[in-house]
Structure formats: structure tokens, C-alpha cells
Structure 1
């Protein structure tokens, strides 16, 4: 099997994975509309009130387009916030698409959140609110609580992203600094019916964490959020308004989030329509159809990107010594990066960093390759979706005068892959179901 065949197969794997979690198709498959009754699985709505569409996330544009194709002029109004450059070429008539900043919130997102609050509060008992939720919504729909300002939320976001905390902990804190998250979006929609269609970008797909749990009960507490901030030594670095608000919450001076005991939850239905496992299945089916043996690691990939990369690289080297046929190693999840030591010019992301650490472990090992892919097309501060590494990557980098170890130390992995022509440059995919890790041994 030559390099050209492996390159072509790699392109097929990436394209197949992205197509399998296409948001338009996911929405179309999830809903059924007969002009009087809207169904989503066992859930049904046959009201005569308004249909209001609200949403946020990187997959918002294709989700909105699919919904318009189903409901058409039955939609009374709609507003969906997407990341910059994520509107696509969709020509929508009933739902407005607005761009905002991600991963740090901005004024555009704040304005959109305020409009969402107004429309939610105006919803009546016979109305239906449809929420289109996908990865990135936490940043794209900021509604700071108490005396917090947008600048305070921006500072908090930067601290959380740099400390290396997993998204579960990050969103637990975000929920307790926001007026919409942690089930408060659903509370504001009452007494209307609420249908939330969710594309999961969190390992294991916990609805309480995806988009900071806009439409589901919140089991976490202010005390848990405070404890996480203490764990990472962030308390003294927080804006005073955030510290004060969390302390008020721990004393019970501000209301706790809806916990599921409220009777109005009977009006709310939330369902996941796309997730990482769907992309993994599509990859496995493609590989097996082309004669590859598949080792499917069901354990989600989590932890520090460099550690995971080294472990996976070592595993592929071991496989290369024992497999008797072309073999594909497959896993999904999301790693983290602690940005200590980063320099202003550094560009990278968890997938590029994972791939570089894997390349060091693969150095000199023939007929091995690893694809580390962010399914949304964006990997950290880089414009790439990740990288493709093999046993020759490190030698090639050193011939160009690059120092892979130094690049990892300062989190500048993207510039190594760009120089090698091995960065995965596919642009925004308009979907987002975490990361994929694909190892090839032949």
C-alpha cells in the first residue's frame, strides 16, 4: 500500500466522518411534520400557537435551514447565533442568523442573548419554542448574572480555557455565572412547550454540560462551581463581581437553578440528534468495507493531549509489530491542554498537540499514521482541524530546522504541521461532535 493510497483513504475517512453527523440530515431525520402535528420520537405538539426558533452553536445554520425546510412559514420568528464564518450559504427566510465570537463571548452574543430572553418571556401556553443547540453555545449566548459585565465573563473564559480544566468543569462554572444556562432558558420559556434539538460536543453526551445545560435541570450547585475554581487556583484572579455572585449563591441569597422538581418540566423535551459515536460508526463501516481490520476503542479519549498522543503513538508502534493485515485504530473524545509556557506567537490546539506527541512516539516506525481531527474544523488557536502524523514526521521536521519538543513546550504545534504540509485544513464544517482519533497500520 503506497503513500498515495493511504492519503486518499485518509481523505475518505475524514469526509465520511463529517458527513455522518451533518446537522441538516440530523434534524430532518429527527422531526416529522404533517402540517398540523410536529413529532420527535414519542414527543408530539399539535398546538395552534406560534412557533419560535431560538438557538446557538457552530451547527446552528444547517440546523436552522433544515427546520425551515420542514416548517416553512409556520415559523413565526427565529434567531440563531453562530460562530464567525459559520453562516454557510444558507438563504433563510424565517430565522435570522447572527454571528458572534467564540470561544470568548462578545457584545454581539450578549445582544442576541438579550433578544432571546425577551422572546422567551413573551412565549404563551399554546406556543412552541424550538431550541437548536450545538457546541459553542456557551460562549455564543452570554447572559452575565448579577453585577457581572461582559468583560468579566471574558476574563473568566480566558482563565478557564488556559487552566486545562475539562469542559465538564468549565461549563459547571459558566452555568453559575449566567441567566440562561443551567435550565434557566427552559424556565424562561414557560408556560410554552419547549423542544430542544441537541448536537453533542461533550464526551458521553451529558445534557447538563452540553451548551451549559440550557434546557435541562441543573444538578450542580454554586458550591461545586466555587470548589472547581479553588482547585485550579483561580479564586483570587476572578473579577470581584463573579466572586461576590458565587458567594451569594452559596448563601442562598440568589435562586438556585431549576433542579427537575418543578412541574413545568413536563412541557420540555430535549433530545440528542447527533454525537461522536455516529461518526465513529461511519468510519468503522467504511474501513471494514475496504478490508481493514478495526480496533474500536470504546473508552473515550480524555486527559492531557500530549500524554494521550504519546500513549497512542506507542500503541500503534506495538501494533505495527504484530498485525497481519491493514489495521485501523479508532477512538473519540476530547483532550485538554494546559497553556502554561505558551508564547504570543504560538498557534496550536489539542489535536495538533496530540498528533505531535504521537509523532515523537512513532519516530522511525514504518507504515504507521495517526489522524487527530476536530470535527468542527477548528483546533484551538489554529486555523486547522488537527493534523496527520506518521513515522517520518519528526525526521522531516528536523530537516526543516524545527524542534518538535520545543514546539510542544510552547504549544506551537500547528506551525510544525503547517511547515510539513500535514495540517488538516478543511475550514468550518458546520457541525461539532468532539474529536476523532484514527490510527492506521499497514
Structure 2
């Protein structure tokens, strides 16, 4: 099995197994039971984001008779007994504004303590622009922020200023009822409260929205509203269900069980995909030789790609795969190796769901270089037939990559 993983297709299949093993409907039930042991059972459950159906299934498995509402992206159905709303992603639409009103009405009309299970994708789904800002103005500014490569904390500072529901805004619809928030995190360590812009978690940004925009040289179409942060409430609490570190450990343990020598590699927040590729290949080249089973490097994170004015089909995962493949061809031409990179939510930028390759099926250097320069890496892998199909997975724990070298 360990030598079989030097085939890119076999390695990609194993990564998809890791993704299935980390599905919220599998992972979350025992975590929910453990967290609520000795505590009152929630009276209602709200599940938000790309992982909402799986989180709803987990809650239903633990508390079969507790009513709930899920609001997610199109894809797999939710469990029986849950109100099921779907919105558009990644661009917020007027339909998302209407569905957000439905969520808020459901909260206002209900009674009892709430369990909110929040996952990535919630920011685009849960939309209530703060007057006089319009949806078009808010979405346009958010798109410019994301295109600038601004870190998520700065993006969220602007989102908070322009939204009635982010930064704990939904708590205003609960009256005095308590809220516990479980987080299925798609952000870096220590940032879990920012998932989905924290709709049930009051927080204050380290810098103001105006400071963020001035630092990036981005002009707003109108004046920014005065901050109106939600107040912290003593009976509320939050807890982490799973994050990228959980997925990285699961993948590393599984590879060790298959006989590989494994090293877990942290992805530095804001690190460029080309820089990460150079760091990984340097580690792999330095560790070659000495016999024994293949070595594997595994990581979870979101390396950045500056797309500039390019409008090609690509994303973080396909770009990282191409950068790794090019460096391996240039610096270790005699090595046996394979790599696979996938977006755990199934959507890698404007491309597919990820890519895989190995030393025997890698594109030629000129094709790799051209795709990297043009930001057309998804088209490159699609042409080779070594892409992971795009589509919602019901999960969202950042990007997962594995490099195997002998």
C-alpha cells in the first residue's frame, strides 16, 4: 500500500477517504454529547454554512426530537424534522437577504435556549446590509477586499461594520434566551470565533473598517456606518467542534497506519502558494535517501494566490499542485513522488475541487510554467485528466494536501 501511494490517483483517492472520515455527521455527534454532558439539552438548533446539512444530521442523531433549521448551500438534503433553507454562494444575492429574514423570524418566534452550529460559507449566506448600504454596494466592496488578498480578520472588520447580523447580530433576535455556539472551523488556529463572521459571537475587530480600507487603498461607495457591536451575554458560550488541525492529525495518523514516515507541516497564515511549494520541496529534497518507506508531508491551510488581472480557471489547490510539480521536476528529476491537493469544501476558486499528479504523469515544465503565469492551473489539470471534480462536499475544513516522496 505504501508504494501504491506514489501513484497520484491512489493518493487522491486516499485524500477523499480522509474527507469522508472527517464528515460532520460522523465526527460531531460524540463531540456534542461530550460538550453537553451535565448541561441542559438545547431547545432548538440552528445550523449555518457549507457543512450545515451534516451538522444538522449530527444534532438530530444526538437529540432526535429537538426542532431545528439549517441554512446552507445547494447539495445534499438535511435530516427529517429540520426546516431546510438554501442560499447562493459565494456571491450573496437578494434571495440570500430574504432567507436571512426567514432565519431571523424563526429565531424571534421560537422559545428556549439555542445551539448554533456555524461553518464556513455563512458570511455569504447570512446577509443583512446595514442601512443605507445596499446589497450591491456591500457585495462589491467585499469582492474587492477578497481580491486584494486581505487577511480574513481585516475582511471581517469591514463585514462587521456593514452588517446587522455579523459579530453577534443574531443574538438580538433571541431576546433573553441563551445561546451555545459550536464551530466547524475553516480558518486558522486561534481564529475560530471569526467563522462565518461570528453571527452569534460578539467580537470587536483589532482595527476599524475605515483603517482597513485606507491601508489597502480601497475607496468605499459611501460613508461607513457607525459601529454597533452586539453586547456580550454572560450565559452564552462557544466551543470548537473541528478545524484544520483535526483534519491534519487524522490524515497523518492514517498515512502512518499505511506504513509511511509522516511529517505534519504547518501552513503559515497568509503564505503564498509558491512560497509554500518551495518550502515543501526543500524539506522533501533534504530528506531523500537512506532507504526505508516513502516519506509523506501533510498539511491543511489556505495558501494565497495573487491573481492580478488574470481571469483564468484556477484556485489555491490547483496552483499549489502545479508549483510543487514544477519544483520537483527541476530539483529532484530522479525521485519517485506523488502529490494531491484538494479543497475540503469541493470548490477550489474558479477551478475544480483540486488536483493530483506524480512523477510519471506530470505535465512538461513549459506547460506548468505557462499555467502558473496565466493563473490557468485548473485548465492544465483538467487537460491532463488529473483533477478532482468540483462540487459541494458537505464539509469545510480548509485545503488538504499531501506530498509523498521516495
What TM-score does the superposition give when structure 2 sets the normalisation length? 0.90
Q: Is the partner of 2:202 in helix, strand or coil? A: coil
Mapped pair 1:436 → 2:404: no
Mapped pair 1:171 → 2:156: yes
State the alpha-carbon separation in 2 of the partners of residues 14 and 158 from structure 1: 30
Query: How do 1:258-273 residues align onto structure 2 when only pairs under 5 Å count?
Result: 258=230, 260=232, 265-273=233-241
Write the deviation string for residues 65-104 of structure 1: whole angstroms up to 9, x where unpaired: 23233333431xx3322123x2x144x3322222212111
Where does residue 328 of structure 2 map in the other structure? 362
Where does residue 62 of structure 1 map in the other structure? 54
Mapped pair 1:208 → 2:193: yes
State the alpha-carbon separation in 2 of the partners of residues 191 and 419 from structure 1: 56
Alpha-carbon distance change, 31 to 3 in structure 1, aligned in 2, over 3 angstroms: closer
Give structure 1 stretches of 5+ with no counterpart.
33-38, 250-254
Q: Is the partner of 1:74 in helix, strand or coil? A: coil
Where does residue 371 of structure 2 map in the other structure? 407
Alpha-carbon distance change, 323 to 101 in structure 1, aligned in 2, over 3 angstroms: farther
Where does residue 231 of structure 1 map in the other structure? 215
Question: Does the CA-based 8 Å contact 1:57-1:135 persist in structure 2?
Answer: yes
Alignment partner for residue 224 of structure 2, among 245, 269, 275? 245
Where does residue 280 of structure 1 map in the other structure? 248
What TM-score does the superposition give when structure 1 sets the normalisation length? 0.83
State the alpha-carbon separation in 1 of the partners of residues 334 and 158 from structure 2: 43
State the alpha-carbon separation in 2 of the partners of residues 68 and 231 from structure 1: 45
Question: Does the CA-based 8 Å contact 1:135-1:211 persist in structure 2?
Answer: yes
Q: Is the partner of 2:335 in helix, strand or coil? A: coil
Where does residue 24 of structure 1 map in the other structure? 25
State the alpha-carbon separation in 1 of the partners of residues 301 and 231 from structure 2: 28
Question: Does the CA-based 8 Å contact 2:119-2:396 persist in structure 1?
Answer: yes
Displacement of 1:154 in angstroms is 1.9
Alpha-carbon distance change, 17 to 350 in structure 1, aligned in 2, over 3 angstroms: same
Mapped pair 1:291 → 2:273: no
State the alpha-carbon separation in 1 of the partners of residues 167 and 5 from structure 2: 49
Give structure 2 stretches of 5+ with no counterpart.
none
Question: Does the CA-based 8 Å contact 2:160-2:166 persist in structure 1?
Answer: yes
Displacement of 1:418 in angstroms is 0.8
Question: Does the CA-based 8 Å contact 1:207-1:216 persist in structure 2?
Answer: no
Write the deviation string for residues 291-311 of structure 1: whole angstroms up to 9, x where unpaired: 211112245464122322233
Alignment partner for residue 39 of structure 2, among 35, 44, 56? 44
Q: Is the partner of 1:209 in helix, strand or coil? A: helix
Question: Does the CA-based 8 Å contact 2:267-2:276 persist in structure 1?
Answer: no
Question: Does the CA-based 8 Å contact 1:347-1:411 persist in structure 2?
Answer: yes
Question: Does the CA-based 8 Å contact 2:262-2:297 persist in structure 1?
Answer: yes
Write the deviation string for residues 155-195 of structure 1: whole angstroms up to 9, x where unpaired: 12321221112223222221221111112223432311212
State the alpha-carbon separation in 2 of the partners of residues 411 and 11 from structure 1: 22
Where does residue 114 of structure 2 map in the other structure? 129
Matched residue count: 402
Mapped pair 1:138 → 2:131: no
Mapped pair 1:347 → 2:313: yes
Where does residue 81 of structure 1 map in the other structure? 71
State the alpha-carbon separation in 2 of the partners of residues 320 and 301 from structure 1: 27
Query: How do 1:360-399 residues align onto structure 2 when only pairs under 5 Å count?
Result: 360-363=326-329, 364-382=333-351, 384-391=352-359, 396-397=363-364
Alpha carbon RMSD of aligned pairs, Å? 2.5
Alpha-carbon distance change, 422 to 318 in structure 1, aligned in 2, over 3 angstroms: farther
Alignment partner for residue 96 of structure 1, among 83, 106, 110? 83
State the alpha-carbon separation in 2 of the partners of residues 74 and 372 from structure 1: 38
